[in-house]
A = this chain, B = another copy of it.
Amino acid sequence: MEQNTKIAAKKRIFDAAVSLFARRGFAAVGIREIAKKAGVNISMINYYFNGKAGILKEIINECYDKYYSAILDTGGEKTPLEERVRYLTRNMVDFFRKNTELAIVAFSTIPVDIPEIIDLKIKWIESKREATNKWFKTLGMDVKNAPLMCVIRSFLTSIIFGFVEAQYCCDHIVQAPAMPIHLQDHFKHDDHAVVMDDSFYKKYVEILGCVYLHGVMSMSKKKGKKRSKKKRK
């Protein structure tokens, strides 16, 4: 068996699983459906991934690797903060756009029955904790301030992921051919009818970056220092 074809079968399974899990959820998709979509026999799931959970493990590893690459790339320290915020926002939006299904699966699946997956996720998050804290300190955040960090830490991820997931739902589930036509008419107005091309996302990134900057800087010690001068009487 040529390496190319070997890789192809494994990859086909992976891609089929990502797509199906994203639309339907991990628990609702069976290995027979994945195998059928990938054009392989069901035993291949076990052979290549050691079972269904193994697919999920690889999804999580690939997604988190890409995710943390995106969020930890915040530009040069000499760059003005405004530009860095914009740069980061763009990185993250790009990440979620390019890896929508991967992210939906990895971020939304919490398989309680499979502790090793929970373990894996926790390890990823913990291993990147200090690195992400560095960025928040750059923003002037007090990382020991618990309620503050609960707002700020996943700010961009929550907003972008929430939006991208909703769009995915709209495009691939509600608008999917299998869905009754009358439901598809619901999205023919306002932001739902907008062509979300690169131009749209450029504006989205600008706006979000601005909201993030202004919102977060209202909590920043860096900005707070400026104010403290005025308050001293």
Interface residues of A (CB under 8 A from B): 23-28, 108, 110-113, 115, 118-119, 122, 126, 129, 143-144, 146-155, 157-159, 161-163, 166, 169, 173-174, 176, 179-180, 183, 186, 190-191, 194, 200-201, 203-204, 206-208, 210-219
Contacts and interface: CB of A to CB of B under 8 A. Distances in A.
A211 B207 contact: no
A190 B157 CA distance: 20
Contact of A183 (B24, B118, B176, B180): B118
Of listed A166, A191, A212, A219, residue having the most chain B CB within 10 A: A191
A147 to B, nearest CB: 4
A161 to B, nearest CB: 8
A201 B161 CA distance: 24
A147 B204 contact: yes
Which 9 pairs, one residue from A and one from B, show the smallest C-beta to C-beta distance? A215-B215, A27-B28, A158-B162, A214-B218, A211-B215, A147-B203, A27-B27, A146-B194, A146-B191
Contact of A159 (B28, B158, B176, B208): B158
A111 B174 CA distance: 11
Given A118-B179, A151-B159, A214-B215, 18 more contacts: A24-B27, A25-B25, A28-B111, A110-B173, A112-B173, A118-B174, A122-B186, A144-B190, A146-B190, A147-B203, A148-B207, A150-B163, A151-B163, A151-B204, A155-B159, A207-B219, A213-B218, A214-B214
